[in-house]
Amino acid sequence: YAFLTLFEFSLLLLDLEEHYFEPHTAYNLTGRGPEANRQTSGSLKICSKSIIFEPDDAVKPILKILLKDCKGIGAVEETGHNPFIESKPACILIETKQIYLIKEENVVAPYKYERGEKKVTFQLEVPGKTEDVVQILLQLHRASCLDKQGDQTAMVAAILQSRLARTCFDKNSFQHVTENPHMECVAEMVSPLVTNAGHVCITDCNLYFQPMNSYPDLVVQIGLHSVRRIYKRRHGLRPLGLEVFCTENDLCSDIYLKFYSTKERDELYYYIATFLENHIAECTAESYMLQWQRGHISNYQYLLHLNNLADRSVNDLSQYPVFPWVISDYSSTQMDLLNPASFRDLSKPIGALNTERLERLLERYRDMPETRFMYGSHYSSPGYVLFYLVRVAPEHMLCLQNGRFDQADRMFNSVGETWKNCLEGGTDFKELIPEFYGSDSSFLKNLLGLNLGRRQGGGRVENVELPPWASDPDDFLEKMRLALESQYVSEHLHEWIDLIFGYKQRGSEAVAAHNVYICQCVCLCFCSIEDPDQKIAMLTQILEFGQTPRQLFVTPHPQRITPRFHNLSATPSLSSSELSPSSPSMESFEDLTEESKKMAWSNMNKLALQSRHKIHKEAVTGIAVTLSGDSIFSTSQDSTLKMFSKENGLQRSMSFSNMALSSCLMLPDDKIVVCSSWDNNVYFYSIAYGRRQDTLMGHDDAVSHICWRDDKLYTASWDSTVKIWKCVADDISSNKRTQFDLLAEFEHEAGVNTLDLSPAGTLLATGTKEGTLTLWDIANPLPLNQLTCHSGKIHKVAFSPDSRHVLSVGEDSCLVVTDVQTGMLLATVHAEQEQRCFCWDGNTVLSGGMSGDLSVWDLLSSKVIHKIPAHSGAVTCMWMNEQCSTIITGGVDKQIILWKPEY
């Protein structure tokens, strides 16, 4: 969670929109009861609306005095009989009509208070600062007593800016003495419900934030090289926010900054964007839509990205990420994800799901003056977010509700009851939050032992009551995730996106879809309001009722075209036969072949090692196998082609030159092995005759990779070209010299390290030493698409079986998926180590890395789902048969290893 850890003191003890200026070590000289005439040491916090005293003894309560409750603030001589203080320096005397007592016994609970005329005396550890502290308190007290809220806010803002202007960023905080600062400005770091002012500094390698009060740290530092995503944010209805993520898919960012001018925000944004180069180009709604459509990111990931792009952030409770209710059945003992009746209608907003309630709301809507709305509260607001999260964020709830929890019967007591109220309640139209589809179930459990009250039936508010189909909170979240990624939701999610982020969000389409909420037009008219009090009222309304996300799509959102989710089979109540679209008797032979491939890929994480063979003196570079699978050929940097017989274990060795061989392949006739070499040549080896049959001297530098299709040989070379040669198979198979005709030549800017042909043989993908991926139409020597998708050498490229995508791996430890049609980079997966080779089915990847492990990747979640120890050094090449039932890997350890998926 992005919520603050439970400290004794936190900014959540402040009022909303309050600033924490400075701390002072001090003593509270006002004893109560048996502690009279005893001093209490602690820290005095000077804030814009209050004075807070945090005792060093965590058992004692934190004292909070609102400045508006004060009748007098001044410096006085200490007159008590305290044996610990020899001299009698000036103290701070505060006369107030109310004192709040918070976190007594260090327990998070509703605030207590003492009312009546009180006098509280504080002694600063540094007496010389007493007069200065009194002056700032008097100044803030005057602000708190102004009649208009707008005048109060303006005066406090002037005091804050004055304090910030008198200080600057301490450059002694730089990580390196050689860092060059680019810009420095003042800003506020944003956390849920609170902000903290300070100085921002960005250098050529780091972003820094230095709070003016040193809370909670002296400085926050983020390395620019670790930044993965940045978003401009609308904060307080103004374009002043900037959020920085150092991870790809996490809910929580690393820092959220609110600037005082859009110009400074934009300057910092573009500086980081320039540093990141290609990263920022990926962060568009359209690019994520394409990834989602083609099944490369999950429904959960897509919704997370859309929320991010629409200004929703876990650091801003008024714009917390919104996720849909997708299940409508919370009473059955089993969840049936194959039954459409189990799901909510995603084409309608929550308020329109109950037709009877909707009719009542529409009747009221028709009688309203302009500006009309159908729903008086939003589907997301700070109150709704904390309704769900009160068990893990109790201090946030106390902050939002002036030190009180909600009534016990109105809390989040049951998932089923909450859903029912969202369907039937007259003012309850809330959707869900991402936590319902995450992996941390603590928000459903009262792990902190909070006293949240008793319900009318007498029971205490403890853990959330779950549906009968969930055995425990973790099981509940797992089944909610299954539901979100189900076939039904994948087919209908675009309808809900139209309502929340799309063309049905506003205007006549919103009216027609019964999707009109209060505050829907606030952001459009906010900037035109000049009266400060009206602006504050509008911000308060947003905080109470919520606001609509930024509109991302103005036309209907397309449906998902390739939902590739097979996780329904993980549902305990379902069997694989129930999931089959047709009976086995109806399947063709091709279907069975496809089914066997799917079965093999689904068991790729259960690879069984068959045998190991150390047959080379240097790293293995290529593997080819006869159709029968009995004979295995391999090339190596030791310049030899080796033949290994699985039947009898016999080996044969052939050498064509004294330079490394880079790859090999078997021709369709099963009689010729073709090898590429660093000596610029391609060699044809006859299995029947046991000797070199022919040599193609085709390049001016090493031949790095070769492919064969329809009597044509494709050769890639470090001389920056790929060439297509016409070869006659009959001539090659006979004992005759072969005629090689050059059909085409494809020029590149750098040496070509790898290539692959599409399954249909019409497209070519090439990867260079400088990280450039190029897509070519075989019939045309001009590139279709070209992009630099790696920061170093590309080791391997391969088309997906449907030819829609290309996967590439490179020296930068990234796995990159590119859309063939658009040339758009769809996904970048950052691995822990460099991957050298792989096979894939369009979703699951089996790759070999530098450590010698094989990794099984799920590209939908961008995660390694299994690791298999394999070689003692880098895995350099990989071969898989057409049925995906046999895998052979080669490595730097000079071995080839045979594997089989276990069923």
Could you tell me which residue, 287 or 427, shows the higher pLDDT? 427
Gap between the Cα atoms of 326 and 300, Å rounded: 12
For residue 562, pLDDT over 50 is answered with no
Residue 197 belongs to a domain: yes
**Burial degree of 702 (CB within 10 A; 0-12, 13-18, 19+):** buried
What phi and psi, each to the nearest 5 degrees, are found at residue 669? -75, -5
> Do both 686 and 717 map to the same domain?
yes
Does residue 252 lie in a domain region?
yes
H-assigned helices in 552-672: 576-579, 589-602
**Does residue 531 sit within a domain?**
yes
For residue 558, the domain's CATH number is: 1.10.1540.10
| Residue 890 falls inside a structural domain | no
Strands laid side by side in the 844-849 sheet: 835-840, 844-849, 853-858, 863-869
> What would the pLDDT profile of 316-346 be if each residue is shown by its tens digit?
999 999 999 999 999 999 999 999 999 999 9
Contact at 8 Å (CB) between 224 and 272? yes
Max CA-CA distance within the chain? Answer: 115
Asked whether the predicted pLDDT for residue 153 surpasses 80, the reply is yes
Q: What gap in Å lies between CA 428 and CA 116, rounded to an integer?
A: 39
What pLDDT is attached to residue 510? 93
Contacting residues for 332 by C-beta, under 8 A, at least 6 apart: 342, 467, 468, 469
Residue 802 has pLDDT above 90, yes or no: no
Split at pLDDT 50, 70, 90, the class of 278 is: very low
Structure confidence at residue 568 (pLDDT) = 35
Of 260, 283, 306, which residue constitutes the final position of a domain?
A: 283
Angle at 861 between CA 856 and CA 862, to 5 degrees: 60
Strands (DSSP E) contained in 656-702 are: 661-666, 672-677, 681-686, 691-697
- 164, 198, 219 — which closes off a domain? 164
Residues 154, 210 share a domain = no
- pLDDT for residue 590 is more than 60: no
H/E stretch holding 508 reads helix 507-512
Residue with tokens 């008219």: 525
- Tell whether 252 and 328 lie within a shared domain: no
Here the CATH number for the domain that contains residue 697 is 2.130.10.10
**Does 861 fall in a domain?**
no
> Do residue 438 and residue 477 come from a single domain?
yes
Same domain membership, residue 384 and residue 456: yes
pLDDT of residue 573: 32
Residue 526 reports pLDDT greater than 60: no
User: Is-contact 544 377, C-beta < 8 A?
Assistant: no
- Round to whole Å and give the CA distance between 546 and 552: 18
Which pLDDT band holds residue 285 (cuts at 50, 70, 90)? confident
- Confidence tier at 753 by pLDDT (50, 70, 90): very high
**553 and 678 both lie in a single domain:** no
Strand, helix or coil for residue 575: coil
Query: Is 726 a residue whose pLDDT tops 70?
Result: yes
* Better pLDDT: 151 or 493: 493
Question: Is 310 inside a domain boundary?
Answer: no
Share of the chain above pLDDT 90, in %: 65
pLDDT digits (tens, 9 = 90+) for 63-77: 999 999 999 999 987
Question: For residue 770, is pLDDT > 50?
Answer: yes
Residues 673 and 795 in one domain: yes
Number of domain units in the chain: 4
pLDDT in tens, 882-901: 888 899 999 999 999 999 98
What local confidence, expressed as pLDDT, does residue 2 receive? 46
Which tokens sit at 198?
A: 């300070």
| Of 894, 840, 832, nearest in space to 867 by CA | 832
Q: Could you tell me if 355 and 465 lie in one domain?
A: yes
Q: Which pLDDT score, from 0 to 100, does residue 574 have?
A: 30
Residues in the chain: 903
Q: Helix (H) and strand (E) counts for the chain?
A: 18, 42
Residue-wise pLDDT for 399-413, tens only, equals: 999 999 999 999 999
CATH code of the domain covering residue 273:
2.30.29.30
Domain end marker among 112, 141, 164? 164
Facing residues of 45 across strands?
23, 52
**What is the per-residue pLDDT for 198?**
97
Q: Could you tell me if 759 and 733 are in contact, meaning their C-beta atoms sit under 8 angstroms apart?
A: no
Give the tokens for residue 726: 């016409």
Query: Do the domain assignments include residue 179?
Result: yes
The confidence band for 729, taking pLDDT boundaries of 50, 70 and 90, is low
Q: What is the pLDDT of residues 239-271, one digit of tens each?
A: 999 999 988 767 888 999 999 999 999 999 989
Q: What is the pLDDT of residue 288?
A: 85
Averaged over 291-305, what is the pLDDT?
Answer: 88
- Three-state SS at 581: coil
* 276 and 360 part of one domain: no
Give residue 281's pLDDT.
44
User: Sorting pLDDT into bands at 50, 70 and 90, what band is 796?
Assistant: very high
pLDDT above 90: residue 604: no
Cβ-contact 353, 345 below 8 angstroms:
yes
What is residue 545's predicted lDDT score, i.e. its pLDDT? 72
Mean pLDDT taken over the chain:
87
| Strand 229-235, strand 238-245: pairing | antiparallel
Cα dihedral sign for 508, 509, 510, 512? positive
Q: Is the C-alpha dihedral spanning 654, 658, 663, 669 positive or negative?
A: negative
pLDDT at position 421 over 60:
yes
In this structure, the answer to whether residues 495 and 624 fall within a common structural domain is: no
pLDDT higher than 80, residue 427: yes
Residue 178 burial (C-beta neighbours within 10 Å; 0-12, 13-18, 19+):
exposed
What residues make up the domain containing 345? 317-566
pTM tops 0.85: no
**Residue 78 confidence (pLDDT):** 61
* Across 49-58, average pLDDT: 94
478-505 pLDDT, tens digit each: 999 999 999 999 999 999 999 999 999 9
With cut-offs at 50, 70 and 90, classify the pLDDT of residue 591.
Answer: very low
Same domain, 632 and 737: yes
Instruction: Give a yes or no: residue 896 inside a domain.
Output: no
CA atoms of 31 and 816, how far apart (whole Å) = 66
Helix, strand, coil tally for the chain in percent (to 5): 25, 35, 40
**Predicted local confidence at residue 567, as pLDDT:** 38
Residue 405 phi/psi, 5-degree rounding, is: -85, 165
Specify whether 156 is located in the same domain as 245: no
